[in-house]
Structure 1
Amino acid sequence: MANPPRHDGIAAATLYNDTSRRLVLALKHGNRISLAPMMAGLIAPRVHFIGPDWVIVPVPLHRWRLWKRGYNQAAELGRELSRRTGARLAVDALVRRKRTPSLGGLGQKARKRVLTGAITANGRCQALKGARVVLVDDVLTSGATSDACVSALKRAGAEKVVVACFARVIDELLDGR
C-alpha cells in the first residue's frame, strides 16, 4: 500500500514453472522464434480488452544484445499480439540506453539498481501521448524491468499501461508456500 505499482494491471498467460521456463528460454536464447505465435496466442485472451485504439510496446533490448541475439523476443510476442488484436505495434517506443548485465540470479533491489536510468521513451515516438499501452515481455520476474518501462511510458504521456507477459513468477509458489 505504501508503494503501489505504477502499472494498471498485469495479464499473464501462465505461471513460471519448469514447462513455461523451457518455452521462454527456447524463445529467448534458443532462436525458436516460431514459438512466438503460440505464446502470444496464450497471452491474447488475457488482454481481450485491447483493440485498434491501444499501442503495444515491447520491452526493449540494448542494441548490442539485439545485435548478438538477432531479434527481440518481446517484439516477436508484440508483433503477434498486434496481428491478433489490431493494436498498433510501436517497437521503437522505448530505448534501452544503458547496457545492462543479464538480470537472472539478481534479487529485486539489485535488478532495480542495474535498471536505474537504463530505459527511456524514444523522443521521436509520438504514439505514447495519451495512449493506452500494453507493455509486452516474455516473463515477469521481480517487476524491476516492467517498472522501469512503465515509468518511462508514463513520463512520455501514456495514460494507461497494462503489462502483458507469457509467464509470471510468483515467489510464494517458487518457495513452496
Structure 2
Amino acid sequence: MDGLKEAMLGLLYPPACIACGGATGEPHALCAACWSGIGFIARPYCERLGTPFPVDLGQPLLSPAAIADPPVFERARAVARYDGTASALVHRLKYSDRPELARAMGRMMAQAGAELLGEADIIVPVPLHRWRLWRRRFNQAMALASVVARTSGVPCDPFLLARVKRTRQQVGLTRAQRQENLQGAFLVPAGARARLKGRRVLLVDDVLTTGATANAAARALLRAGAAAVDVLAFARVVTEA
C-alpha cells in the first residue's frame, strides 16, 4: 500500500533536483549537472583540518596551518568546498526555509564523516542563540545532525551545548574578530555534564570557515569533561595558497 501511495505521489509530483528544481530519478536528490557542481573533498587532505592538498604525497600529512596554529578540536571533515552547488544548498537550507534539504545533505555528511562517526560516542549540533533561533525558526546544524545520527546510528544530544552569548554575524569579520566575537559564547549546562564526561563528541555544523566557531564550541565541551571533539560540516571554505 505504501509503495502504491509513493508511486501515485511520484506521478502527481515528479522528483525534482533539490538544487535547481530539474527532473531527477528519485526524490531528495541532485541532478547530474548539480552533482558535478559540487567540489567534493577527498584525500589527500590535512588530517587535522580536512583541507585538501593539491598533490598526493603518499602519506597522511598535516598542513602548515594545522602545525602553526593547531585547532582546539582534533579533526575536521567536510563534504565539499563552500562554492558552487554546495554553497547554494547551504544558503537555501539556512535562509530560504528549506529544512527538507537536510535529508540529502546529512546523508552526504554521514558518508564524508564515516571515519569520525566510527569513533564518536555522541553527536552535538552547534547551537543557535535563542533569539536567532526564534527569528530563523529552526537550527540548520540540528537538522543536519539529526540526519547524520539516523544514518549512522550514533545518538544526537542537542542539549549538551548551549549558546549563551548573543554574538554578531560572523560574515565579514576577520579571524581575530571572529575569535573575540565568540569568546564565552558557548556553555555546557550543569545538568548535562554527567552525560558528556569522558565521551568523544562529533560537533556538527553547516559550514566551517576559519574554525573560530568550532574552536569555541570544542573548548567549552572539553572544559566540561568531553574526552575529545571532532568536527563534521557539510561545506568548508578553502583558501588556495
For the pair 1:93 / 2:160, whether they are aligned, the reply is yes
Identity of aligned residues (%): 43
Tell me what 2:98 maps to.
32
Tell me what 1:62 maps to.
129
Counterpart of 2:210 (choices 142, 150, 163) is 142
Quote the offset at 1:85 in angstroms.
1.0
Quote the offset at 1:3 in angstroms.
3.5
Tell me what 2:187 maps to.
120
Unmatched segments (≥5 aa) in structure 2: 1-66
For the pair 1:167 / 2:235, whether they are aligned, the reply is yes
Aligned Cα root-mean-square deviation (Å): 1.4
- Greater fraction strand: 1
CA deviation vs aligned residue, 1:18-62 (integer Å, no higher than 9, x gap): 321111110011110000010011111122242596100000100
Is the 1:100–1:118 Cα contact (8 Å) retained in structure 2?
Answer: yes
In the TM superposition, structure 1's runs of 4+ consecutive aligned residues that sit over 3 Å from their partners are: none
Quote the offset at 1:145 in angstroms.
0.3
Q: Normalising by structure 1, report the TM-score.
A: 0.93
Q: Normalising by structure 2, report the TM-score.
A: 0.69
Counterpart of 2:112 (choices 23, 43, 46) is 46
Unmatched segments (≥5 aa) in structure 1: none
The one-letter amino acid of 1:153's match is L
Quote the offset at 1:14 in angstroms.
0.6
**Equivalent residues, number:** 173
* Structure ID, larger Rg: 2
CA deviation vs aligned residue, 1:43-86 (integer Å, no higher than 9, x gap): 11122242596100000100000111111000000000110111
Give distance in 1, aligned partners of 2:83 and 2:120: 33
CA deviation vs aligned residue, 1:122-170 (integer Å, no higher than 9, x gap): 2211321111111000000011000000101111111121100000101
